[in-house]
Structure formats: C-alpha cells, structure tokens
Structure 1
C-alpha cells in the first residue's frame, strides 16, 4: 500500500463514522422536529388564546375596544427645536419633562441601526405577517419550562402595537388585541413604514424616545452618522433600557453590543471581521459616550420664546409638536451681551452687585437681537429671566417718556427755562411729595435739555406736572413701556387708569422691565414708530409647513417724528450732561452718535442705562435679584453704563455700522439759541431767529467746547428773541434792553417758582412769540 498507508482506516473506525453521521442526521431531524413543534405550539398558543378569549367573552370585551390602527393619525410627541435667526445655531430642545423625541424617516436613521435592530429583535421581520408562530412557540415553551413568563415572543410589529396602541399589561385581552392589531397593521403598512414607526417610538433610556433622540443623547450626533459600533450599542438598549444603560451599566451594555453584532453576522449584515473591529472600538463613557445632551445656549430668551409658543399653540404642541422655530436672536450678539453683563458684575463685586439683564432690539423691526435674563446660572437669582420680570423701578431712565410727552405737547421746547428749586406737590388723595435731586442741591434755572441730560429730579417733576401725569403715562404706553403698578403679593398690572399714577412716575416710582425699556427707546430710535418686541420670526411643523412668520411690519406711529428727533438730539448731546456727569462718560460711543439715559433707584437698589442709535436700541439693568441694595454710590452711570457701552460698541462693530444719525424731519426747524443749535416743532419757534429747514442729511456738530450748558440767561433770551441789529445801539435802546432782560429773568423765575410751569405758561409765551413758518 506504500504511500497510501496513511489513508488506511483502523479496525472499528468505519462503524464509528457511521454512528456519528447517524447521530448528526438524528440531531437535524430533532431540530427540525423541535422547530415544527414550536411552530405548532405557537399556533396552538394563538388558537388557545383565541378560544379562551372567545369562551371567556374576551372577544366581545377586547375586540370591541380595539383602537384605530391608523398610526399616522396618532403622531408621537416630537421635540420642538429652537434656532437662532440664521437657522444654524440650535438654542434649545423643548420637550415634555423626561421625554426627548425627534421624528425621522428610515433613510435618516442610517445604514446600521435599522439592520442591527431587525437582527437582534426580529430576524423574521421582513417575511412574517405581523406575528411569528415560531417566536410565540419558543416563548411559550420557555415559559412552560420555567413555570413563569421568562421570554417574550413579540415581533417588531407587535412591539409597535404595544408601544403605540394597547399598552403593556399582561392580560389575555391585551395580548389578543395586540396580535390582532399586529396582523392588521402588517396588512396596512409596508415593512419599511412599520420599521420606521417602531424606531421612532421605542424607548432607549435617559428620556430618549426614538432612534434620532438616542443618537443625540448618547453620541451627540444624528442617527445617520452612527458607525457600526455605536449602532450596535443603541440597538441593544430597547430590551431593557435601565439595566443595559451604558452610562450606568457599562459591562452589561458591552455584552449586549456583542450579542447584537453576533446577530448581525448570523443574518449576513456584516462580516465577522467587521463585527470584531466594531466590538474593539472604544465607546466607553465619558470620553466617547455621553449623558443626555443639554442644549441651552440662551436660557432667558428661550424661556421667553417658549412662553410665546405656549400662548399661541398650547403646551402640548409647543413642547411636543415637532416644531422648528426660527427666532430673531443674533447668536454673536447674544454672546457679546452675556460677556458684557458678566464683566459688569465682576467689576462691581465689591459694590454688592450680583446680577444683571440686557435686551437689545433692532428699532426698524422690533426684533430682539439679544436677551440676557441674568449674569449666569450660578449667581443668586440666576434661574430667573429678569429681562422680562418681575418689574423693577427704572429710576431716572423713565424720564425719556416724560420729556417726550413734554415736547409732544408743544408746551415745551428743548430750551424752555426750568427752575431747579425745592418744590412740594400735594397729589389729590395722596401724600405730599417733595422730590430731591441726586446731589441734594438746587441749580437755579436751566434749559429743559440740560435738565434732562443732567438728570435733575426737581425739574423733571415740574415738567411732568406741566405736561400732565396722565399724558406721560399715555406716552409711555404708546411707546411700548406701560408702567406697572404693584398691588402686592407679586401681582402687577399695566392697565390701571392714567389718573391713578402719582408724580413719582417720572423718577421711576412705578415698575418697568428691561424688555419694555428697550422697546420704549427703540420707538425713539425708529423716529417715533413702535415696533412691538418680536422674538419669533418663523415656525414650521415637522413636515416643513409654515405655521407663521413675523419679520416685523410697518409698526404703529406712537410719537410725532419731530418729537422723537428732538428728544434724540437732547439725549445724544454730551454737553447736556457735563454739569453732573462730566465728559467722556461710558454714555459716549467713540465713532458713533448715540442717545442715552441712566437711572438709579432709591437706596441704590437698581442701576439702569438705556440708549440707542438708528440701528440698535439697548436697555441694561444691574442690581440684585432679591432687591438687596447695592453699595451707596452705585448708580446707573457706574454699574450699568459700562455694560451698555461695551455691548453697544461691540455690537455696532459687528453690524458694520459707522456713525449714523437721523435726517431732520420736515416739521422740525433749527435755530441758534445762545450759540447752540436748538430744534423746534412747527408752532414753537422763537420769533425772528432765522430757521434752517430740513435737509437731506444730518447737520454737522457744533463746537461743544463753547456750549453754555446751564441756564438761559436774560442776555441769551434777548438775543434769541429779536433779530440782530446792525450798528451800535443807542444809549436809550441799551437801557431799554437791560430793563427787558431784567423783566424777562424775573418773570421767568417768579412764574416757575410758583408753579406756572405746571400750566405750561412758557409754552404759551413761546407760542405767542413764534415766527411765521
């Protein structure tokens, strides 16, 4: 036999081989028989359930309560996503507590996750009629051997029915309804539709419902971007999201991932080599696998947006309607605003300042570009959105409304002389009110524009009384800043009768919010046109259907354009502020003409700065959320103005804005008074002084170094109220001129000292002296 000797079979070997072959055939027959038995057991189980249900009356009671099998008519709650104005920066994900879900199509779930799910959950999914007799039989056999329910036999379709339609109680009635609906759904929808509905509905733990939410929660990416290892990890979670949670039970989750990969190899979805590489990939937390993704980039603003969505659509749709919301927020400006407020808090820590708020708006549309509700989540009161409430006393920043009402009444001009001397006011039915200036001093007679710029309190109250308190309230309301009255217990109202407000209104005695103050000065910045604050510029549903858009309309005329122009001129002239504030304050923006006003409340509880250019209006509040006072001397120019300055400078640069200002309206006339430009509405000009009518662009600035800030002395009154004379005056004329000056000054002091200003006496006099238009 030579070279073939190694093929010789030893004695007894051939019968052994035959025995092994026979045993193998027996095993195959046994396996086949077992599968047949299991199928029969499954069918028998189903038949038994049907028979038992029929015998027990369950068909009548169970099938009669079958819910509709139209899953399309039962949309799952889906998260609402809130974006910035570009639609690129995700600001927040709104969803019911403990629930995060995003609807996605099957192609959007990627290549691996659907395949992994079918491989591990229901390998016969693509062929079964909604229920799988083999799986049912296997589960029944396992339960019989264990003497208790230990294995489920549900298909993907049955799991979908259980999740979406019938619940998961263990009653026979429920199981019957589940099986019946599964068959019906399998006949109604395609397999791809059923798998997509299942992957959108199943729970993955950590409040993630659906594949897209799971991908974002655990891996901070879309489901389509999952690799094989990540998909296999997620596909194993629905079996038991708590015990298999990879964040808290890593080893169990890793073993389950191995089972999923092995199933994918068995079904031919991947090769063994691909499965091995995926299993070796490091997904361990926290470097590669994460906890729930928290997107909360602008919490105060998002809370404001959510409130508007709830008011419009209801809470269920706002948080579970799958909306896509495009907001007005400029993310770059929002970051700049947050930095500006935080910088101000840090810089004033030794002044007992812990919090701040900021609102910036586009005056041309009312769109909110930035909203900071607090200096940060960790500061006292950081959980509140102080930009929208509760109301705070605005201090002297409210004077912008008082002086707007005064100019609009035509009883006053920007050069009307106001006496700054102690006064005492007795409101009807109220306590006597005696306002004091910030520096506790009186300053004699000053022009109205200087009284505003230097924020003198006593003249402000006189102007308020002259214009009428109800008129000031009405002006603030028209401009979008209705003052709040505090009725105690956190109850505030803005619809109280105008007559119910007292003379402390102009000094900030009633509440405002940063949002309202920003809206108010935005109205001035828009030339007297109110554009209501707008946070949402577009909303679509999950299918992309537009539910509403609001880019800002034409607005509503709140003030005469000339009034807004004159108030803006007064607030932008730094010379009007020099007596109290000096020059070079943070209210001046290098390279930009800007109007600004500060405010400080009693006992230094609040510090404010509000201001604007034609392109940007901003209100800043600084203080403490619990109303704890700041250190004495911490007023608006110290604590709020630097934040306003920092934000406005950076934001205008970001917008690419140079120096810009307003053309003079046609109903405004300019003339020099005392060497300074003054602006007058029709019917209020001073007699015989040459007027310069509106031109196509802004007039150049005058030399502010020679401006006389305080007082309108008799000599200035004389030169302003009569034409210039050529040549020398005669001694008689000079004497008469002196008498006239004395009389004017004395009458001015007497009238204002005894309250004639409250009746607008000077306004009447100016009216009589007006030059023909």
Structure 2
C-alpha cells in the first residue's frame, strides 16, 4: 500500500524547526561570543580623543629662505589638507565609491558586515569587504593591516567609538589625508601630485574620479601600472556618481571618455640646492634621529635665497664649461654600433646606462656632416649641433697642450659616439663634456653669517662630495689680506714701503733653502703695501709678514675664525700654504665686509614640526647697529665680537678695492660697481684657483681645482678660473641693489702722498695721490719710509 502523501509534512516541519533552533542557537552563541569578545577587547582600544593630533608620517621638507621647496626626504609622499581645500567633486566621488551612507551610518555597515561574514563562512577565508570610511580610518590610524577576526572586531568597536567622539567632517578629513593610494602617495593631495603633477584643486572630474577609485586596490588599479584596471574602476565611480545624482549625464559622458593621461611625477623643487639639502638632512639625523627625520613631517627653513642660489648654480656650471672649452675635447664617453637601420628603441636602450649631469644630456651621434652632427639624446630628441658648437673641440692632450684646431666635424666625432650635449639657446645645441676640475661657491650675508647660496660641485647626483665645506685646499694669495690686516693693526699703513727684491731663507726641519718668487718671476723695488696686495706681489708680502712677526700673524688670524693649529708657523703662511675650506675663507672675509665683526656661518633659520609649531630657531651672531642708529631690533640679539677695528676693516677693504681697480681682479670692473672688493688666490703650480670678494650685502668665495690636487694648467690662476664665476654670480645676486659705498668709520683720514715714496707731498706733485690712513698713522714729511706711524711704536724690521 502506498504511503500517504501527507505523512512527510510533520517530519519536514520538525526538521525545519530543529534547523531554526540550530540557527538561532548559533546566532545566539555568536552574539554571546561577540559580546564577550567586545567586553574583553573594549578596554584595550586606544583613546580616540588624540586622533586629531595623531602624527602622520610625512617627509622632511627642506625650504629656502622664503618657503620655496628645495628637497624632500622620506619614504611616503604626504601633503595634508583641510576639508575646505578638497574639491566637492572628490568628496562626492569618494562617498560614491567607498561609503554612500557615510553621513548617516553609525560608523559601520551592518548589512555589509553580515555579507562579509557569510563569505568568510562559506569560503573559509577572511574577506576584507564592508569597510566604511570610519572603519578604514580606525584601521589606518590605530590597527595593524593583518586580517584577523580579532582585529575585525576591534575595528568595528573602534569605529563606533570614533563615530561617537568625532564629527563626520573630522573623520572624512582624517581619511582623505591618511589613505594609501599607490606609488608612495598617502592622502589625495599627494596622489594628485604623484599621478598628475598638480594640486587637487586643479584636477578635472575624470582625474578626481580616478583617484577616488584607488583606495580599494591602489596597487592593481593605479593608472600608471594598470591603466586598463584604472579605466574600469573610474567607470564604476562615475556610474555610482551618476546614479546618486552627483553629476549629469553630460558630465558623466565627458569624464568617462577622457583618456588615461597620467604618468609618475616627481615632486617639483623650486630651488636647486642639493648640497644644502644634504647638509640639512645630516643635521636633522644627528639631532633628531633617522626615523623622526624621515617621517616626522618637519619643515626646515634654510637661509638660502632662491635668486642667489639659481645664480650660483649657473655661474659654477658656466665657469667649468668654459674651462672645458679652454682645454680641448677629451673624446667620446663610449662608442656603440649605429647603422642606418638602427631603431630609436635600440638607441634608447644604449643610452639607459647614462644620466644627465648638470645641464649636460647624453646622446648618440647618428649622422656626421661637414660642419655639423646629428644626435639622438636621452630625452628622445633629435638634436643638431652646428659648427659654432663644435669648433672648440680640439683634441685634449694635457692641461697645457691641445691638438690642432678641427677643420670639419669628422675631425671630432663619428657615428656611434656617445657624447654629452648642452642646450645653449632656443634650438641651439653644443658639444660638451663633464668637467674634470671641481668647483665650489659659498656666499654669506656679512651682517649675520647666513648662507645665501652654496654650490659644492658641478652636480650633486654625479658626485655628492661637498667641496664648499669639505675640501681643504691651499688658498694661495687670497690669504694675504689677513696678514696685511695684522700689519695695519701693528701701525703699518697702506703707504708703507717694502722691498720686492729676491729672498733666500731657511725652510723646513732640515734647513733647506727656500727661494720664493713672484708669479711673474719679475722682481720689484720698494713697493707700497697697497700695490703689493693689489698686484699680489709675493716677495713684498713675505716681507710684510716678517715685519709683523709669524707668531703674531698666526694668532691674529684667529680673529677671523681660523684655528692657529691649522696654520703654518712659517713665512709660507702669507702665500696661503694652509689648507682651508671655501666656507672658512668666506667667513674670514665677512670680517672685512661687515666692518670688523666675526660672525658665524649658519644655514638653518628655523625648524617647524608637523603641526606648524616652531621648535627651533637660529640665534645668529649679528653685527650691532652703529652708535646712534635707530634700527628696529626684534627679540634679544646676539651681537658678534669685534674682531678687528672698523678702521682696520675699512683700510683693508680700500686696499682690496684696488685689487679690482688696478690689480689682479680687474675683470670685476665689468660689474660697474664701486661697492665691491676682493682678492685673487692661486696656489703653487696652479693647483687651486680662488677669488674671495664682497660687497656690503654679500661675501662670496669661489674655488676651482681638481679633486686630487694637480695643475689646472698654465695661466689657470684665480683671476682666470675663479674670478669669472664670482663676477657672473655677483652680477646676478646684486642686481637691483643700490651701489652703496662702504661706510667710512670715524678715525679715518686722508692725506696726499707721493706714490713712489709713500710720504706726504703737495697736490701739485706729478706723483701725488690720495691715501686713507687711520688717524695718527699719517707719515710725516721727511720721515722714514715704511715705518709705522706714531700710533704704534714698532721697529721697522720689514725692509730687506
């Protein structure tokens, strides 16, 4: 007999009832477990009230004097913004893509969590889904990224807590600044710069929607590495915005059709000062530690002037390239096979081993004409070099010899040569080469020692050795002013006479004979100190040092910031046989420039933390205002020490003005200024070329030499190798500043003297000239030549 059709119904009801009991039992157990877990975990949750002040990892920013960006150091690009700075379209796009109920939910999405939990149970793996913006903030600010059930419960609990204690706008601001968006970009402002090279406010709807689609999978959806995925994700965001009524159909269609036009953008630096940036980085690591330096969000304001630094970079580059032209072409960097069928792809592959150095771009010669060549460069350009950019390239033989002048382009280059080219004007290129000598320039503001510009070499990324602060080189005759100042302090005058006859002296521990000579190898008769310094006459200067005394001169030099232990205690002192850095020389010359005060060079004005609070401010030594001057002084100033008298500084400045007017520094006359003074310097065998000079506004020292000292070549003296760099820089740095004569202090008098005898004479005398004296040192008619005036009773032991 067949079973009844209804006999199974009670069984099914009983089975369904039991399954329902099981389900509710499991649900109750889950709720109970979650409740117990919540009770256990709640006390371990971090406090939320500090989240608004919570530190965001942000790179160290190095800034110029007026806030222009010099460099950034750190692994994360982050540029925090306020909600008012964020375009409304981005907020709409983010909410559409990530959390449409953000402004109404309690911090979590219960349905989303249930769906995610079901996926976890069914698939047996931990799913990420259902994270609201508040939950992402909780995870990013407080929790680890590891996906565990315990962390998920903490995330839910913490989200409730954040939603209760913070406003929605505060939560959204935290999210917009913290979220990772790929390619080292954290936060949407940083992402805008990384992907588009623009600030958020400059992006269009398509670009904003692209960024809004990144948080879910920044590695897989970013437009640089995966443009197809990025387009699909942008389409999703725009579709959601259209569905929510945030945009019109026309806006949607235009944005959805926009191309994926993006590439990796580096941060744009407004001031190129990598040597200064490295000095800041080293300082910060030393005082704050590596971790805080790289992610502490510090902003370091330096003393660097944007205009001065740009001028310094250009002057050093031009000066070293000019040296190249004077000494001939070293030859190609390498040779690669090139034929008529060689593709651009192959050329690019061969160029990938080379980088731009300074302003020089690597290129491969692809064709050689009679008086021109064509090359393909690293920037994927075809450049043409005419004869004007080639004719200089006689073959380099030694620093003192070149080959024959080339007659045609094939005398210089051939197809396949890897060369460097230099852009010299619109559409105009020249053959170039990486300079072999190094150079340094350091420029200080004399009133407080702040560094206005500093260049440590041709290209920091090619060689990061900082020649301005680390290269100890012999300053040659540029050290003479410090000895001459000692003579002025002992009562000698600019009119005192010293012999320029030959000298033979004992030198060294074994008593070797030392026969110093003048650079010209010519001897002089009795010569005034002014002329001796202006024309850099070595034999006169040695006698000045003898008159002063070596011991006295060495200790006197300490007034300029030099260490006595670093100076030779011999007659070679006046010829610059010590080894000093350009920065040390620059500091010494500021004493002349500011009227006699010893300032201390510094390069950091202030340090600001991530909250904008100034945590450190420089306390420079400043030159005190003249007596009776009404100068506004802010705060408590730290006045510099009076190193030499104002009268001494004025006399020495006047003598160094003669270096420019009639001596070895006459190239500086091209500046057509009366407020400049300085001194050339050349060490033995032209191993180092120097010029140190100043105006009331800036002191600047330039050095040129090889990294391992050797001859720069005949005639590569300070006036030829270093002074042109100084002139170019000072011309640009002083542009717009009034031509202000150096202030004449009290106690300076003038007298008419005979230029041959240094003694007073009448105005009608053909040899009459006007000379400055410190009051009380004017020589008397019929007096002894070269002897100090009555202000000092010093024996004239300097006439030999």
1:586 shift after superposition: 4.1
Distance change in 2, residues 1:192/1:455 (3 Å) = same
Aligned counterpart, 2:70: 92
Counterpart of 1:75 (choices 43, 55, 67) is: 55
Distance change in 2, residues 1:241/1:262 (3 Å) = same
Aligned counterpart, 1:456: 537
Deviations 1:538-577 (A, max 9, x none): 5544554444555963342221101111111111114885
Contact 2:754/2:769 (CA < 8 Å) preserved in 1?
yes
Aligned counterpart, 1:731: none
- Structure 2 counterparts to residues 395-406 of structure 1, below 5 A: 395-406=476-487
Aligned counterpart, 1:371: 454
1:261 shift after superposition: 1.5
Counterpart of 1:275 (choices 252, 255, 258) is: 252
- Could you tell me how far apart the structure 1 residues matched to 2:79 and 2:766 are? 64
Distance change in 2, residues 1:294/1:704 (3 Å) = farther
Q: 2:606 matched to 1:526? A: no
- Could you tell me how far apart the structure 1 residues matched to 2:440 and 2:187 are? 38
Contact 1:586/1:637 (CA < 8 Å) preserved in 2?
no
Distance change in 2, residues 1:621/1:183 (3 Å) = same
- Could you tell me how far apart the structure 2 residues matched to 1:172 and 1:703 are? 105
- Structure 2 counterparts to residues 323-342 of structure 1, below 5 A: 323-342=298-317
Distance change in 2, residues 1:340/1:507 (3 Å) = same
Q: Gaps (5+ residues) in structure 1?
A: 1-38, 483-493, 679-685, 691-701, 710-718, 724-739, 753-758, 766-773
Higher strand share: 2
- Structure 2 counterparts to residues 441-590 of structure 1, below 5 A: 441-480=522-561, 482=562, 497=565, 501-547=569-615, 553=622, 554=624, 555-556=639-640, 557-574=642-659, 578=663, 581=664, 584-586=666-668, 589-590=671-672
Counterpart of 1:361 (choices 429, 444, 448) is: 444
- Provide the secondary structure at the position in 1 that maps to 2:453: strand
Contact 1:49/1:172 (CA < 8 Å) preserved in 2?
no
Q: How many residues align?
A: 639
- TM-score, structure 2 normalization: 0.71
- Structure 2 counterparts to residues 98-137 of structure 1, below 5 A: 98-137=75-114
- Could you tell me how far apart the structure 2 residues matched to 1:47 and 1:223 are? 44
- Provide the secondary structure at the position in 2 that maps to 1:619: strand
Aligned counterpart, 1:648: 730
Q: 2:273 matched to 1:298? A: yes
Aligned counterpart, 1:618: 700
- Could you tell me how far apart the structure 1 residues matched to 2:142 and 2:706 are? 51
Q: 2:761 matched to 1:668? A: no
* Greater radius of gyration (CA): 1
Counterpart of 2:796 (choices 754, 757, 762) is: 762
- Could you tell me how far apart the structure 1 residues matched to 2:495 and 2:526 are? 14
Aligned counterpart, 1:394: 475
- Provide the secondary structure at the position in 2 that maps to 1:204: coil
1:155 shift after superposition: 2.1
Q: 2:31 matched to 1:47? A: yes
Residues 359-368 or 186-195, more deviating = 359-368
Contact 1:102/1:213 (CA < 8 Å) preserved in 2?
yes
Distance change in 2, residues 1:111/1:438 (3 Å) = same
Contact 1:607/1:640 (CA < 8 Å) preserved in 2?
yes
- Could you tell me how far apart the structure 2 residues matched to 1:105 and 1:83 are? 22
Contact 1:365/1:551 (CA < 8 Å) preserved in 2?
no
Distance change in 2, residues 1:46/1:393 (3 Å) = farther
Distance change in 2, residues 1:564/1:539 (3 Å) = same
Contact 2:58/2:297 (CA < 8 Å) preserved in 1?
yes
Counterpart of 2:323 (choices 304, 324, 348) is: 348
1:355 shift after superposition: 3.0
- Structure 2 counterparts to residues 688-767 of structure 1, below 5 A: 721-722=780-781, 761-762=795-796
Aligned counterpart, 1:605: 687
- Could you tell me how far apart the structure 2 residues matched to 1:121 and 1:573 are? 74
- Could you tell me how far apart the structure 2 residues matched to 1:563 and 1:662 are? 13
Aligned counterpart, 1:735: none
Distance change in 2, residues 1:675/1:628 (3 Å) = closer
- Structure 2 counterparts to residues 14-25 of structure 1, below 5 A: none
- Could you tell me how far apart the structure 2 residues matched to 1:343 and 1:498 are? 33
- Could you tell me how far apart the structure 2 residues matched to 1:256 and 1:419 are? 84
1:49 shift after superposition: 6.0
Contact 2:106/2:160 (CA < 8 Å) preserved in 1?
yes
Contact 2:209/2:234 (CA < 8 Å) preserved in 1?
yes
- Provide the secondary structure at the position in 2 that maps to 1:585: helix
- TM-score, structure 1 normalization: 0.73
- Could you tell me how far apart the structure 2 residues matched to 1:145 and 1:611 are? 81
- Could you tell me how far apart the structure 2 residues matched to 1:333 and 1:546 are? 25
Deviations 1:504-560 (A, max 9, x none): 433333332223322222221111123333434455445544445559633422211
Distance change in 2, residues 1:670/1:451 (3 Å) = same
- Could you tell me how far apart the structure 2 residues matched to 1:665 and 1:650 are? 29
Residues 39-48 or 196-205, more deviating = 39-48
Deviations 1:460-512 (A, max 9, x none): 344335434454444444334x2xxxxxxxxxxx5x64787554433333332
- Provide the secondary structure at the position in 2 that maps to 1:276: helix
CA-atom RMSD in angstroms: 3.9
- Could you tell me how far apart the structure 2 residues matched to 1:622 and 1:307 are? 25
Aligned counterpart, 1:66: 45
- Could you tell me how far apart the structure 1 residues matched to 2:510 and 2:105 are? 85
Q: Gaps (5+ residues) in structure 2?
A: 1-22, 328-398, 400-434, 625-638, 771-777
- Could you tell me how far apart the structure 2 residues matched to 1:584 and 1:478 are? 29
